[in-house]
A and B are shown apart, each in its own frame.
Chain A
Amino acid sequence: MSPQAVLEPVSTTRMRGGAFGRLHLWGKLLWPALALAILLAVDGICIRGFFSVSIVQGRLTGTLVDIFRYGAPAMVLSVGMTFVLATGGVDLSVGAIMALAGAIAAKAAMPVSLNGMGMSPGAGIAIALLVSVLAGMWNGMSVAWLGMQPIVATLVLMVAGRGIARLCIGAANVPLSGVIWTALHNPHLTLPTAPVIVLVVAIVAGLLTRATSIGLFIEALGGNPVASRYAGVRVGLITFMVYVFCGLCAGIAGMISSADVMIANASSTGMYMELDAILAVVIGGTALTGGRFSLVGSLIGALLIQTLQTTLIYKVPIQQTLVIKAIVVLAVCLLQSAEFRRKSIAVCARIGLSRTRKAAAQVAS
């Protein structure tokens, strides 16, 4: 536990919920929201018809809708990941759990003649979500009761999860079919399903944490686990539940992203998604060291990443996308680093100083 986290005065103002606390929260949200706004503005200027949304054959279509649609898995993941990071942990296994959930759903719905279990697709999805909750329980158990470091504890499933998924459905693509998958993929409704699911998950998560004291417990635990235990917070239970919820979110994200391509695949589903999710949460203002969290921030972070992805697809040759993504990630990290802001201000001041000196010298001569 770092001494800074113990002595953090901000969390008390935030807990009191005074005007300053709220102002501070908006300050946290300001940077990611500003970044998103700038990116959208650039897109609006550079890409024709970026903001146009229309209804084609009864379905809402447009680039903005696509951003919400394809960003949905990362947004759901970032909701679960926010709580995990807020307790000072991390869950690396979400990508693997996504693949595992997709594989289980596919396996359960496959006919018995093809080595499947011959269930209905709906039952398959239910079992897949149950398995992802079990995976979350495994993570939670390792962290909360065995006392393992979160990085390693979740690394176990990150490695093994894809193996189990591959054992279920092999290395090939397994097509998904059924009304429920079509409904997830592209329903005959005006609204696409995925963003609606995101909204439901986010609202449930927000109510669970902010309308009850659970959110406060999570923040307390992330700030100082020892002090929280002395204050009577059931640290073990909260930590466990946080990982279970993250597992469930990963399962839901797995369903959405499998439905996107109507395929279950043990290795490509959710590849590097854990990294996107963590990035989204960090961009949203929740620190990797734990403490305060912001669900809205995480959602904005996930949207920012997806908007960037979409922009890059439109504007940049495909071989350059990853490099630019890396540079943006670094830039966002740097912007959030207090050390970087301090140093750059110092550098600016020095340049300014030398200019004024030069000017003074010119005036003097």
Chain B
Amino acid sequence: MKKLRLDQRHVPLAATLVVCVLLYVLTGLQYPSFFSPLVLADLFSDNARLGIAALGSTFVILSGGIDLSVASVMALATMFMAAAVERFHLNPALAIVLTLLVGSGVGYLNGALIHFFDLPPFLVTLATLFLARGCCFLISMSPVAAEAPFFQSFGEAGQHLGTITLHLGTIVFAGVAAACIYAAHFTRYGRTVYAMGGNEQAARLMGLPVGKTKILVYVFGGLTAALAGIMAMANIPSGDPLNYLGQELDVIAAVVIGGTVLTGGVGYLAGTVLGVLILGIMQDFITFGNRDAAWTQITTGLLLFVFVAMQTILSRWKPRHRSTGPLHATVRNA
């Protein structure tokens, strides 16, 4: 039988898992009602928005880029949905498709500018952050309430399992997570993303479609951000141009706490799901205890620091490989 041994690459993921379980148990011991399956179901549905966006962003970060525009695209999606259904009386299904197209469009703009003109992702997505937020203001300067019957049923949709309800958000989150994990680890696209993030030059020399994949990564980031915005409308049925201000940080924090390294090439999609759950449990801990919301930001920052410090120390500390052979060693050191 093979000995169960922790690979060094899996240490960040394992640490994330341990922290997630520890936090869950600690919160449950502090507030016994926290262990109720209802709370667990809500944990997923409340964080579906953050989770879906973070999964898309994970690909961007894995590829060696960064997407600062996610929060603005989320806000734009809510504005666009609300305006399309309420003002132009579009069919909700058509509105959803259009919203997803708008999100992907912003993503395509990001990817195309970064790829074709060799601009830094940081600056380009910063500009689209302003652009998407500006488009929100173009639609309306004040919040648009979504009162159509569709939004009512949208918020209530879900699968009942005994006493608990799996909300639509939870189901979509699970679906997106499964699709992302499959895409990252079992498809050519996923392997190209990892290769690009590890060493773009090498990936290009290997003949991988770097340019196409880069654009696709940002398109997917925009698409998931728009989807996240639509899903958020199940909880809060309105479009607000000031929604999610500064939440690009939460998305990036969730990805980093999930064990993905910001330089790209290293990380797991499952880690991002755990990272989102950690942030969600922390949020619950703070609201259950009626503490100041400021603690959310402080603990997020601290967690970020601890995880990145751990990653940095781990990447410096390289154990000698005894039986892995020369090829394996070079791949690891690359």
Q: Contacts of B293 on A, CB cut-off 8 Å?
A: 166, 171
Taking a contact as CB atoms under 8 Å apart, the answer to whether A326 and B292 are in contact is: no
Taking a contact as CB atoms under 8 Å apart, the answer to whether A163 and B118 are in contact is: no
Taking a contact as CB atoms under 8 Å apart, the answer to whether B134 and A157 are in contact is: no
Question: Do A326 and B253 form a contact, CB below 8 Å, given A146-B312, A164-B298?
Answer: no
Residue in B66, B113, B137, B141 whose beta carbon sits within 8 Å of that of A151 in the complex = B66
In the assembled complex, how far is the CB of residue A322 from the closest CB belonging to chain B, in whole angstroms? 3
Q: Report the separation of the CA atoms of residues A266 and B150 in the bound assembly, to the nearest whole angstrom.
A: 38
In the assembled complex, how far is the CB of residue B310 from the closest CB belonging to chain A, in whole angstroms? 10
Question: Do A148 and B120 form a contact, CB below 8 Å, given A159-B301, A326-B127, A326-B128?
Answer: no
For residue A343, CB closer than 8 A to chain B, the reply is yes
Question: Which residues of chain A from 334 to 354 have a CB within 8 Å of any chain B CB?
Answer: 334, 337-340, 343
Taking a contact as CB atoms under 8 Å apart, the answer to whether A162 and B297 are in contact is: yes
Residue in B123, B135, B298 whose beta carbon sits within 8 Å of that of A163 in the complex = B298
Question: Which residues of chain B from 167 to 210 have a CB within 8 Å of any chain A CB?
Answer: none
Residue in A153, A158, A159, A321 whose beta carbon sits within 8 Å of that of B134 in the complex = A321
Residue in A279, A289, A321 whose beta carbon sits within 8 Å of that of B126 in the complex = A279
Taking a contact as CB atoms under 8 Å apart, the answer to whether A163 and B301 are in contact is: yes
Taking a contact as CB atoms under 8 Å apart, the answer to whether B256 and A160 are in contact is: no
For residue B288, CB closer than 8 A to chain A, the reply is no
For residue A19, CB closer than 8 A to chain B, the reply is no
Taking a contact as CB atoms under 8 Å apart, the answer to whether A323 and B138 are in contact is: yes
Q: What is the interface of chain B mostly: helix, strand, loop, or mixed?
A: helix
For residue A126, CB closer than 8 A to chain B, the reply is no
Q: What is the interface of chain A mostly: helix, strand, loop, or mixed?
A: helix
Which residue on chain B has the smallest CB distance to residue A151? B262
Taking a contact as CB atoms under 8 Å apart, the answer to whether A330 and B113 are in contact is: yes
Chain B residues touching A, range: 35 or more
Question: Which residues of chain A from 152 to 207 have a CB within 8 Å of any chain B CB?
Answer: 152-153, 155-167, 171
Which residue on chain A has the smallest CB distance to residue B256? A152
For residue B249, CB closer than 8 A to chain A, the reply is yes
Question: Do A339 and B134 form a contact, CB below 8 Å, given A149-B263, A152-B308, A167-B298?
Answer: no
For residue B214, CB closer than 8 A to chain A, the reply is no
Question: Which residues of chain B from 260 to 312 have a CB within 8 Å of any chain A CB?
Answer: 262-263, 292-298, 300-302, 304-305, 308-309, 312
Taking a contact as CB atoms under 8 Å apart, the answer to whether B130 and A326 are in contact is: yes
Taking a contact as CB atoms under 8 Å apart, the answer to whether A147 and B312 are in contact is: yes
Q: Report the separation of the CA atoms of residues A321 and B138 in the bound assembly, to the nearest whole angstrom.
A: 9
For residue B88, CB closer than 8 A to chain A, the reply is no
Residue in B122, B130, B262, B301 whose beta carbon sits within 8 Å of that of A149 in the complex = B262
For residue A327, CB closer than 8 A to chain B, the reply is yes
In the assembled complex, how far is the CB of residue A90 from the closest CB belonging to chain B, in whole angstroms? 8
For residue B246, CB closer than 8 A to chain A, the reply is yes
Taking a contact as CB atoms under 8 Å apart, the answer to whether A159 and B249 are in contact is: yes
Question: Which residues of chain A from 293 to 346 have a CB within 8 Å of any chain B CB?
Answer: 318-327, 329-330, 333-334, 337-340, 343
For residue A271, CB closer than 8 A to chain B, the reply is yes
Which residue on chain B has the smallest CB distance to residue A159? B301
For residue A221, CB closer than 8 A to chain B, the reply is no
Taking a contact as CB atoms under 8 Å apart, the answer to whether A329 and B252 are in contact is: no
Q: Report the separation of the CA atoms of residues A178 and B298 in the bound assembly, to the nearest whole angstrom.
A: 31
Residue in B123, B130, B252 whose beta carbon sits within 8 Å of that of A155 in the complex = B252
Which residue on chain B has the smallest CB distance to residue A152? B308
Q: Contacts of A323 on B, CB cut-off 8 Å?
A: 130-131, 134-135, 137-138
Taking a contact as CB atoms under 8 Å apart, the answer to whether B296 and A340 are in contact is: no
* Residue of A153, A159, A165, A289 with highest tally of chain B CB at under 10 A: A159
Question: Which residues of chain B from 120 to 149 have a CB within 8 Å of any chain A CB?
Answer: 120, 122-124, 126-131, 133-135, 137-138, 141
Taking a contact as CB atoms under 8 Å apart, the answer to whether B304 and A152 are in contact is: yes
Can you list 26 pairs linking A and B with CB atoms under 8 Å apart?
A90-B122, A151-B262, A152-B308, A155-B256, A156-B305, A157-B301, A159-B249, A159-B304, A163-B300, A266-B294, A279-B123, A288-B122, A318-B141, A319-B137, A319-B138, A319-B141, A320-B138, A322-B134, A322-B137, A323-B134, A323-B138, A325-B134, A333-B119, A333-B124, A333-B127, A343-B117
